């Protein structure tokens, strides 16, 4: 029972910090603010944490671990590809290869929104970017090495820029979906990710024009 109580108390403290971050910048939050939000005694707070940075690190570490696990599960769908990818096949692949990560983001939407908000932690965004970037490289390398896509080596555009543009498109799509109120289902978000991967910004603008 002691372990269960400890976990419950630590979760309460974490929620206290997140509640504070809904109202003001992380940099301005004091330990006493978290104690007040968590409705615990200072003694209980300092029994588990010495300061807010350790709480934030635990919250972010759990999320990053979840993102990494979701990426690994989704990567299995990429390794099942056995033919050269057309644009349509790429869109259809996206409906599967982003399943676990979109489900994870759906489950943790509130916490992710807080951490990625202007009150949040820029270092967390950087770490998420790095994870998405590594995953993008892993998938592109697998598909290219097996001739399922063609990544040219004689292009005027450096490969790193291509990776960064791809990473940005995926990450910005997910963050925009998380931070905006909409009725999109996880499946619809995955389909949008498919379109974003194969269509240029100009094509997407034309798509919006056709929708009006």
List Cβ<8 Å contacts ≥24 apart for 54-61: 55/13, 55/14, 55/17, 56/17, 56/26, 56/121, 58/10, 58/14, 59/14, 59/17, 59/18, 59/111, 59/115, 60/115, 60/121, 60/124, 60/127
Name which of 118, 18, 12, 4 is nearest 60 in CA terms: 18
Render pLDDT for 15-43 as a digit per residue (tens, 0 to 9).
999 999 999 999 999 999 999 999 999 99
Q: List CB contacts of 58: < 8 A, sequence separation 6 or more.
A: 10, 14
CATH (one of 3.40.50, 1.20.140, 1.10.10, 3.30.450) for 1-50: 1.10.10
What percentage of residues in the chain have a pLDDT greater than 70? 93
Residue-range domain boundaries for the chain: 1-50, 53-211
List Cβ<8 Å contacts ≥24 apart for 134-139: 135/71, 135/75, 136/163, 136/166, 136/167, 136/170, 137/163, 138/75, 139/75, 139/78, 139/97
For 66, other C-beta atoms within 10 Å of its C-beta total 16
Measured CA to CA, the distance from residue 95 to residue 51 in angstroms comes to: 42
The dihedral through the CA atoms of 27, 22, 13, 36 has a sign that is positive
Measured CA to CA, the distance from residue 107 to residue 69 in angstroms comes to: 14
Say which residue the tokens 């005027």 belong to: 156
Helix (H) or strand (E) holding 173: helix 159-179
Confidence label for 162 from pLDDT (cuts 50, 70 and 90): confident
Model confidence, pTM: 0.90
DSSP 3: H
State the pLDDT at residue 1.
Answer: 44
Res 157 pLDDT > 80:
no
Render pLDDT for 49-88 as a digit per residue (tens, 0 to 9).
999 999 999 999 999 999 999 999 999 999 999 999 998 9
């Amino acid at each position: 029972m002691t372990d269960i109580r400890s976990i419950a108390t630590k979760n309460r403290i974490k929620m206290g910090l997140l509640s504070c971050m809904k109202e003001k910048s992380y940099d301005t939050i004091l330990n006493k603010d978290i104690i007040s939000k968590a409705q615990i005694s200072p003694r209980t707070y300092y029994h588990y944490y010495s300061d807010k940075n350790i709480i934030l690190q635990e919250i972010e570490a759990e999320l990053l671990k979840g993102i990494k696990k979701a990426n690994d599960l989704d990567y299995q769908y990429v390794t099942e590809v056995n033919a050269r990818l057309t644009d349509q096949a790429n869109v259809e692949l996206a409906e599967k290869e982003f399943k676990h990560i979109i489900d994870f983001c759906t489950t943790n939407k509130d916490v992710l929104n807080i951490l990625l908000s202007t009150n949040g932690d820029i270092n967390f965004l950087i770490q998420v970017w790095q994870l998405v970037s590594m995953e993008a490289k892993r998938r592109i390398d697998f598909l290219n090495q097996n001739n399922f896509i063609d990544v040219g080596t004689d292009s005027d555009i450096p490969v790193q820029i291509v990776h960064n543009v791809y990473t940005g498109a995926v990450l910005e799509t997910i963050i925009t979906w998380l931070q905006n109120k909409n009725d999109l289902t996880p499946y619809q978000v995955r389909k949008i990710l498919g379109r974003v991967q194969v269509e240029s910004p100009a094509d997407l603008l034309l798509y919006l024009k056709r929708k009006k």
